Amino acid sequence: MQLSVEEILKITKGELLAGSPGGYVHGALIDSREARGGELFFPLQGERVNGHRFIHDALKRGAAASLLEKKYLHLFSAGEFTGDKAVIIVDDCLRCLQAVAASYRGKFSLSVVGITGSNGKTTTKDLIASVLATRYCVLKTEGNYNNHIGLPLTLLRLEARHQIAVLEMGMRGPGEIATLAALAKPCLGVITNIGEAHLELLGSRENISKAKGELLEAMGAGGTAVLNGDDPFLKKMGTKFPGRTVFFGYGEGLDLQAKHSRLEGEGYAFTALLPRGEMANFWVPLPGKHNVYNALAAVATGLQFSLEVPELRAGLANASCSGMRMERLQTKSGFWLINDAYNASPSSMLFALETLKEWAGNGTTIAVLGDMLELGAYMEEGHRRAGFCVARTGIDYLLTVGPRGELIGRGAKEAGFPPRSIFTCSSNAEALEVLQSLPLVGAHVLVKGSRAMGMEMIVKELLAKYN
């Protein structure tokens, strides 16, 4: 990113408090500790910390300029900012971040792929970026930079060399995807599925579908929608979309159809029927049938950018995906840990349990399952449903963590799971103690729960002790 201070003043409608309008900034920051030299600092107000406390730190560490909201001027004395570094007074730093990102995005004519969905969007983003990178120079969302702050910061990383941007779009409520899409201006939108995540805020899967559909609305008739054709909400959405629609999945008659899939090594192999009638074999370094859907989305996207089968195949096979998503880790003591602690929903619980059983074969299986959050009125049913899945998949031991986790145990009992194999734990530390009393050698241990549960602590402690 390179913008002149004069441009920033115009975009933000700001007032220069210090410095000169003739300078330039290179890059953007919201954390003063990441300053390397020449950046523009956006001092955002967080839940616990006000970024205005770190303006001086950012400038001292090398930032070339900083914004400053009018309402926080009282925190600084007159003449406090000296030298050639620009300090710009604005009304709202977050809105300015988005405005600067939108203006900067407008300087580029590259293609943008927007990705959303209830489950799998981060993995799908990683797979799509890997596939497209076999031919193109790709910018992708890093980490969890998928919201109203992270996406603008990603856009500000655009360079002239980039040909495609692959951007993940998360949301917590209606209107948020529309805001992100307005900033990014995608030409192709991928929606992985419509699940139970965010039911607490949106009330129904119909409302979730409507919120996710804002991505397609933003593209309009000139865009291409790549949708999970096995999801009834997305099937309906796609039939109403005025642009081009590509459906993927296992169902008959879809544009891209998985015909066969199976666990193979550390990942999944599958055969797909391509839109032009060709059969092709692929392998993705991720376990579980649900990741075949994510891989199909990547193949469908690659085909829209004219990639050939060898490129698609290489992109999937060499993909590097984000952590804490079905990571299988072997301990020196002779058992496996499956770290899926990044997040959880009833649907993803089922996927993870099926994969646990598939990986373990005839070996011992232990599921450590924590609370699932943001389910709203579906909270009790969703947790009990997870318990039904535990019983149905034939897991050997179930450990639940947290007050809602108890409902998972209750659902498992109702479905016939032996009560003696259920352990109800109030904390990660208690679950860790119980785990160490179970027959771990030769076992596969799944650890999964919502992000706020911090269940990766269990994985880290076990690895520290048994490696």
Tell me the pLDDT tens digit for each residue of 304-358: 999 999 999 999 999 987 766 788 899 999 999 999 998 888 888 998 999 999 9
**200 falls in which pLDDT band (50, 70, 90)?**
low
Range name among 101-105, 192-196, 235-239, 354-358 with the lowest pLDDT average: 192-196
Rounded (10°) CA dihedral 2, 135, 120, 440: -110
pLDDT, residue 327, reads 87
Predicted confidence (pLDDT) per residue in 251-288, tens digit: 999 999 999 899 898 899 999 999 989 999 999 999 88
Provide mean pLDDT across the span 432-457.
95
**198 falls in which pLDDT band (50, 70, 90)?**
low
Question: How many Cα atoms sit within 13 Å of 300 on the Cβ side?
Answer: 32
Q: Which amino acid is at 451?
A: R
CB of 312 closer than 8 Å to CB of 280? yes
Range name among 20-24, 96-100, 268-272 with the lowest pLDDT average: 20-24
Whole-angstrom Cα distance, residue 408 to residue 398? 9
Q: What is the pTM of this model?
A: 0.88
Residue 78: is its pLDDT beyond 90? Answer: no
Task: Record the tokens describing residue 421, joined without a space.
Answer: 């194999």
**276 or 151, greater pLDDT:** 151
Provide mean pLDDT across the span 227-235.
97
pLDDT, residue 378, reads 87
Q: Which amino acid is at 351?
A: F
**300 falls in which pLDDT band (50, 70, 90)?**
very high
302 contact partners, CB below 8 Å, separation of at least 6: 128, 131, 132, 311, 312, 315
Range name among 80-94, 165-179, 188-202 with the lowest pLDDT average: 188-202
Strand order in the sheet with 164-168: 138-140, 164-168, 111-116, 188-191, 224-228, 244-249, 256-264, 267-273, 279-284
Q: Phi and psi (nearest 5°) for 87?
A: -125, 125
pLDDT, residue 121, reads 92
**221 falls in which pLDDT band (50, 70, 90)?**
very high
Whole-angstrom Cα distance, residue 165 to residue 146? 13
User: Which domains are delineated in the chain?
Assistant: 3-92 (3.40.1390.10), 108-317 (3.40.1190.10), 327-466 (3.90.190.20)
Question: How many Cα atoms sit within 13 Å of 338 on the Cβ side?
Answer: 28
Torsional sign, CA 340, 346, 348, 352: positive
Which helix or strand (DSSP H or E) is residue 165 part of? strand 164-168
Give the distance, in angstroms, between the CA of residue 145 and the centroid of all CA atoms in the same chain: 8
Whole-angstrom Cα distance, residue 363 to residue 125? 33
If phi over 0 gives left and psi between -120 and 50 gives alpha, with beta otherwise, what is residue 228?
beta
Give counts: helices (H), strands (E), the chain: 17, 22
Mean pLDDT taken over the chain: 94
pLDDT, residue 241, reads 97
Question: 3-class SS at 328?
Answer: strand
Whole-angstrom Cα distance, residue 301 to residue 130? 11
Provide mean pLDDT across the span 237-242.
96
pLDDT, residue 273, reads 97
pLDDT, residue 47, reads 84
Q: Phi and psi (nearest 5°) for 140?
A: -130, 160
Residue 408: is its pLDDT beyond 70? Answer: yes
Provide mean pLDDT across the span 31-53.
94
Residue 202: is its pLDDT beyond 80? Answer: no
